[in-house]
Structure 1
Amino acid sequence: MSNSWKDVLAGKIPEDWGREIDNFEAQMTLRKAAKIEEKVFAETRLRRGTYGQRYDNGKRHDGITTQPLNFPTPSTKGPDTMWDAPGMTRIKIPFGGLNPEQMRVLADLAEEYSDNICHVTTRQDIQLHFTHIEDAPALFRRLAAVGITTKEACGNSVRNVTACPLAGVCHTEAFDVTPYAKALAFYLLGHPDTQDFGRKFKIAFSGCKHEACALVSIHDLGGIGVIKEIDGKQVRGFELYVGGGLGAVPHQAKLIEEFISAEDLMPYSRAVGRVFARLGEKKNRNKARVKFLVQKLGIEAFKKLVHDEIAVMPEDPTWRKHFDEIPQWDERPKDEQPPLVGISVNGKKSDDYTTWAATNIYKQRQAGFSVVTVHLPLGDMSADQTRLLADITHRYASDHARLTVEQNIVLRWVPDAKIPALYEELKAIGLGLPGAGTIVDVTSCPGTDTCKLGIASSRGLAGELRKRLAEKAINMDAAIKNLRIKVSGCFNSCGQHHVADLGFYGNSRNVGGYTVPHFQVMIGGRWRDNGGSYALAIGSIPSRRIPDVVDRMTGRFIAERQSTESFQDFCQRIGKKELKTMLDDMTKVPPHQVSPEYYSDWGDPREFTIGDLGVGECAGEVVSLTEFGFTDAESKAFEAQLLLDEKQFQKAEALAYEAILTAAKTLVQLQYLDVPNNPDAIVNEFRTRFVEPKIFWDTYHHGQFANYLFNRHSEGPDLRYNADTVHKLVEEANLFIDAAHKAHAKYQAGLATAVNVAAAPATV
Structure 2
Amino acid sequence: MPPASATTGSKTSRPRRGEGQWALGYREPLNKNEENKKNDDGLNVRQRIIDVYSKAGFDSIDPADLRGRFRWFGLYTQRAPGIDGGKTAVLEPEELDDRYFMMRIRIDGGQLSVAQLRTIAEISTDYARGTADITDRQNVQLHWVRIEDVPTIWEKLEAVGLSTTEACGDAPRVILGCPLAGIDENEVIDASEQIAQVYEDHIGSPEFSNLPRKFKTSISGCSSYCTNHEINDVAFAGVVGPDGTPGFDLFVGGGLSTNPMFAQRLGTFVRPDQVSEVWAGVTSVFRDYGYRRLRHRARIKFLVKDWGPEKFREVLEKEYLGYALPDGPAVELDPGTRRDHIGVHRQRDGRYYVGFAPKVGRAPGEMLARVAEIAETHGSDRIRTTADQKLVILDIDEDKIDSLVAALEGEDLRVRPSVFRRQTMACTGIEFCKLAIVETKDRAASLIDELERRLPDFPEPVTINLNGCPNSCARIQVADIGLKGQLVSDGEGNQVEGFQVHLGGGMGLNAAFGRKVRGLKTTADELPDYIERVLRRFLEQREDGEAFATWAARAQEGDLK
TM-score tier (shorter): 0.7 to 0.9
Residue 416 of structure 2 is matched in structure 1 by 434
> Of residues 563, 572, 575 in structure 1, which corresponds to 2:553?
572
Aligned match of 1:158 in 163, 166, 172?
172
Q: Kindly state the Cα deviation for residue 443 of structure 1 after the two structures are TM-superposed.
A: 0.5
Q: Does 2:146 match 1:128?
A: no
CA distance in 1, matches of 2:99, 2:58: 18
1:400–1:366 distance in 2 versus 1, CA, 3 Å: same
Unaligned 5+ residue runs, structure 1? 1-17, 60-75, 314-358, 585-764
Q: CA deviation at 1:429?
A: 3.4
1:508: Cα distance to partner? 1.2
Cross-structure match for 1:582: 559
Tell whether 2:290 aligns with 1:280. Answer: yes
Q: 1:216 aligns with which of 209, 212, 229?
A: 229
Corresponding residue of 2:501:
521
Mapped partners of 1:261, 1:544: distance in 2:
52
Corresponding position of 1:350: none
Task: Write the deviation string for residues 416-441 of structure 1: whole angstroms up to 9, x where unpaired.
Answer: 22111112222343434631775654
Instruction: Tell whether the 8 Å contact from 2:181 to 2:222 is kept in structure 1 after alignment.
Output: no
Q: Aligned partners of 2:277 and 2:310: how far apart in 1?
A: 19
Quote the Cα distance in structure 1 between the aligned partners of 2:151 and 2:222: 39
Runs of 4+ in 1 over 4 A off after TM superposition: 18-23, 29-37, 78-82, 436-440, 510-513
Which of 22, 26, 33 lines up with 2:51 in the alignment?
26
In 2, are the aligned partners of 1:397 and 1:411 still within 8 Å (CA)? Answer: no
Correspondent of 2:486 among 504, 507, 519: 507
CA distance in 2, matches of 1:524, 1:166: 28
One-letter amino acid of the structure 2 residue matched with residue 188 of structure 1: H
Cα pair 1:50 1:133 within 8 Å, conserved? no
SS of the residue corresponding to residue 148 of structure 1 reads: coil
- Aligned in 2, Cα 1:412/1:573: closer, same or farther, shift over 3 Å? same
How far the C-alpha of 1:170 sits from its partner, in A, is 2.7
Asked if residue 245 in structure 1 is aligned to residue 255 in structure 2, the reply is: yes
TM-superposition CA deviations, 1:230-276 (whole Å, max 9, x none) = 4xxx4331101000001111000000133111111111111111111
For the residues of structure 1 that align with 2:57 and 2:100, how far apart are their CA atoms? 17
Q: CA shift at 1:175, angstroms?
A: 1.5
1:47 matched to which residue of 2? 72
The answer to whether the aligner puts 1:487 opposite 2:485 as a matched pair is: no
Contact 1:439 1:485 in 2 (8 A): no
In 2, distance between residues paired with 1:184 and 1:86? 32
Give runs of aligned pairs for residues 413-452 of structure 1, distance below 5 A: 413-432=395-414, 434-435=416-417, 440-452=422-434
Quick one: which amino acid aligns to residue 413 of structure 1? D
Residue 383 of structure 1: aligned partner: 365
1:701 aligns with none
Q: Is 2:186 aligned against 1:172?
A: yes
Task: Could you tell me which runs of 5 or more consecutive residues in structure 2 were left unpaired when the two chains were aligned.
Answer: 1-42, 85-90, 324-340
Q: What is the DSSP-based 3-state SS (H/G/I as helix, E as strand, rest coil) of the residue aligned with 2:245?
A: strand
The SS at the match of 1:85 is strand
The match for 2:107 is 93
Q: Distance in 2 between matches of 1:220 and 1:487?
A: 22
Structure 1 CA distance for aligned equivalents of residues 421 and 262 of structure 2: 24
2:240 is aligned to 227
- For 1:554, the aligned partner's letter is L
| 1:22 Cα deviation after fit | 4.2
When residues 436 and 180 of structure 1 are mapped into structure 2, their CA distance, relative to the original with a 3 A threshold, is: farther
Structure index of larger Rg: 1
Query: In 2, Cα distance between the equivalents of 1:111 and 1:33?
Result: 21
Higher helix share: 1
Alignment of 1:409 with 2:391, yes or no, is yes
Letter of the 2:548 partner, please give it: F
The alpha-carbon deviation at position 552 of structure 1 amounts to 1.7
Match of 2:375 in 1: 393
CA drift at 1:307: 1.2
SS at match of 1:371: strand
The 3 A distance-change label for structure 1 pair 472 and 428 is: same
Q: Output one character per residue of 1:497-549: Cα deviation in whole Å (capped at 9) or x when no partner.
A: 111111111011356673222201111112445x9322112222222222122
Q: 1:52 & 1:278 partners in 2: Cα distance?
A: 30
Note closer, same or farther for the CA distance 1:299–1:229 as it changes in structure 2 (3 Å cut).
closer
Task: Find the residue that maps to 2:193 and give its secondary structure.
Answer: helix
Tell me, what secondary structure is at the counterpart of 1:224?
strand
Q: What pairs up with 1:349-388 in 2 under 5 angstroms?
A: 360-366=342-348, 368-388=350-370
Matched, 1:459 2:473: no
Residues 96 and 163 in structure 1, CA contact (< 8 A), matched pair in contact too = yes
> Could you give the per-residue CA deviations for residues 357-404 of structure 1, whole angstroms, max 9, x where no partner exists?
xx9523224264222123100212222221121121123252111011
Secondary structure at 1:507 match in 2: strand
Q: What amino acid does structure 2 have at the position aligned with 1:116?
A: G
CA distance 1:402–1:437, shift in 2 (3 Å): farther
TM (norm. structure 2) is 0.81
Q: Sequence identity, in percent?
A: 28
Q: How much has 1:583 moved relative to structure 2?
A: 4.5
* CA deviation profile, 1:174-218 (whole Å, cap 9, x unmatched): 111232223223322112331221210001123246x35111100
* 1:268-300 per-position Cα deviation (integer Å, ceiling 9, x unaligned): 111111111112122311001000111122221
Matched, 1:541 2:522: yes
The answer (yes or no) to whether the contact 1:484–1:527 under 8 Å persists in 2 is no
Query: Residue 58 and residue 522 in structure 1: after superposition, are their counterparts in 2 closer, same or farther (change >3 A)?
Result: closer
The answer to whether the Cα contact below 8 Å between 1:393 and 1:401 also exists between their aligned partners in 2 is yes
Contact between 1:204 and 1:223, CA under 8 Å: does it hold in 2?
yes
User: For residues 20 and 521 of structure 1, do their structure 2 counterparts lie closer, same or farther at Cα, with a shift above 3 Å needed?
Assistant: closer
Displacement of 1:560 in angstroms is 1.6
Match of 2:161 among 134, 147, 155: 147
| Deviation for aligned residue 1:117 | 2.1
Letter in 2 for 1:521: V
